[in-house]
């Protein structure tokens, strides 16, 4: 990586770090008061800076609605189990560990809506239709989550800014397949799974200042997909770096209508078994695609497209 690209990434990181949240690893640690959770609302008596330690048992649905803490409250979930977690219109919440076991159907494992200053760290999510669904969020970190045995998407991000996704692992997705007739015409729609997916919404601020790094995606899914076909506003200052994508779908890493973004240091390869149902004789080949203005896409490895411009040395 040469100096110009290093400076570009450094400038974006410096701006994100200025929030005091996105790059922090110690939310709610200093001077914390240790609290043991009991039945009912585990945050009912919580004060800013508390660490709430959960016993290793089933808690059903964890809801955090309309609560704001500064410094953040930390829920030490450890071996605790949930059917879903919903955090809405809240700030200053960190959840460490825990396992979400969803009921299938169209369920979400973790919902983060209208939140800021929230971190999910070291959690396992399985059995849900979508793992983590983020909407209207700011200053958010999703760190070292394991997304295993989901039906469709791992992490969805929309209408959000200053989001860091680091160290996520996507495995063993089981999407419902679309059905086609003998002529290849689709007669029913199935799931279109992504490990990480983001989109903007027309009339609102675009998704911006997002870091997706050290993600490990393998299986029947797309890798990292920032899609904007409409267009709906595109994306600003997205960094996609140092990810491993080994999937059956053609879209390994995609950025559409991106501005001032960086895609570098990624390893993309095709997992055998992918095919186009309309043309089953064709083998999928997983690639990196990016378009927009002011982007740096270089220094990547693409097994099936070694001559792609995305693999050029960064200058």
Q: What is the pLDDT of residues 202-232, one digit of tens each?
A: 989 999 999 999 999 999 999 999 999 778 8
Domains and CATH numbers, the chain: 3-311 (2.160.20)
Helices (H), 144-228: none
Point out the least confidently predicted range of 31-40, 66-75, 117-126, 138-147. Answer: 31-40
- pLDDT, tens only, 49-79: 999 989 899 999 999 999 999 999 999 999 9
Query: Does the pLDDT value for residue 144 go beyond 90?
Result: yes
Query: Does the pLDDT value for residue 20 go beyond 60?
Result: no
pLDDT confidence of residue 289: 97
Query: Does the pLDDT value for residue 183 go beyond 80?
Result: no
The answer to whether 114 and 89 have CB atoms below 8 angstroms apart is yes
Distance from C-alpha of 89 to C-alpha of 111, rounded to nearest angstrom: 11
Of residues 8 and 137, more confidence is placed in 137
Distance from C-alpha of 262 to C-alpha of 136, rounded to nearest angstrom: 23
pLDDT confidence of residue 231: 81
Query: Does the pLDDT value for residue 18 go beyond 60?
Result: no
Q: What's the pLDDT band for 185 if we cut at 50, 70, 90?
A: confident
DSSP codes of every residue in 246-263? EESSSEEEEEEEEES-EE
Of residues 246 and 188, more confidence is placed in 246
pLDDT confidence of residue 45: 79
Distance from C-alpha of 296 to C-alpha of 313, rounded to nearest angstrom: 11
pLDDT confidence of residue 76: 94
Query: Does the pLDDT value for residue 147 go beyond 80?
Result: yes
Of residues 190 and 254, more confidence is placed in 254
Of residues 236 and 275, more confidence is placed in 236
Q: What's the pLDDT band for 25 if we cut at 50, 70, 90?
A: very low
Percent of the chain with pLDDT over 90: 72
Neighbours of 44 (CB within 10 A): 8
Q: What's the pLDDT band for 27 if we cut at 50, 70, 90?
A: very low
The answer to whether 162 and 21 have CB atoms below 8 angstroms apart is yes
β pairing state of 279-283 and 275-276: antiparallel
Residues 6+ apart with CB under 8 A from 29: 74
Point out the least confidently predicted range of 15-29, 113-127, 144-158, 246-260. Answer: 15-29
Query: Does the pLDDT value for residue 129 go beyond 50?
Result: yes
pLDDT confidence of residue 108: 98
Q: What's the pLDDT band for 44 if we cut at 50, 70, 90?
A: confident
Residue 118: exposure state from Cβ atoms within 10 A (0-12, 13-18, ≥19): buried
């Amino acid at each position: 990586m040469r100096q110009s690209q290093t400076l570009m990434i450094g400038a974006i990181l410096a701006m994100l770090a200025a929030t005091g949240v996105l790059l922090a690893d110690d939310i709610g640690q200093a001077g914390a008061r240790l609290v043991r959770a009991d039945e009912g609302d585990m945050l009912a008596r919580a004060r800013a800076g508390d660490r709430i330690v959960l016993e290793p048992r089933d808690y059903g649905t964890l809801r955090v609605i309309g609560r704001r803490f500064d410094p953040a409250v930390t829920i030490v979930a450890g071996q605790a189990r949930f059917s879903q977690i919903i955090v809405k219109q809240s700030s200053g919440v960190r959840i460490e560990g825990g396992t979400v076991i969803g009921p299938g159907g169209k369920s979400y494992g973790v919902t983060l809506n209208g939140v800021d200053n929230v971190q999910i760290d070291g959690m396992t999510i399985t059995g849900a239709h979508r793992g983590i669904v983020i909407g209207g969020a700011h200053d958010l970190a999703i760190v070292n989550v394991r997304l295993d045995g989901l039906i469709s998407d791992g992490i969805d991000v929309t209408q959000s800014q200053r989001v860091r996704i680091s160290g996520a692992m996507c495995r063993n997705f089981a999407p419902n397949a679309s059905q086609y007739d003998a002529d290849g015409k689709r007669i029913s729609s199935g799931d279109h799974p992504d490990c990480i997916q983001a989109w903007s919404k027309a009339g609102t601020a675009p998704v911006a200042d997002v870091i997706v790094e050290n993600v490990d995606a393998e299986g029947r899914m797309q890798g990292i997909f920032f899609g904007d076909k409409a267009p709906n506003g595109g994306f600003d200052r997205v960094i996609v770096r140092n990810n491993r994508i080994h999937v059956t779908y053609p879209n390994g890493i995609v950025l559409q209508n991106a501005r001032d973004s960086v895609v570098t240091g990624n390893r993309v390869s095709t997992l055998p078994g992918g095919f186009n149902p309309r043309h089953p004789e064709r083998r999928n080949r997983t690639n990196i695609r990016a378009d927009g203005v002011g982007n740096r896409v270089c220094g990547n490895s693409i097994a099936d497209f070694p001559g792609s411009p995305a693999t050029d040395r960064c200058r």
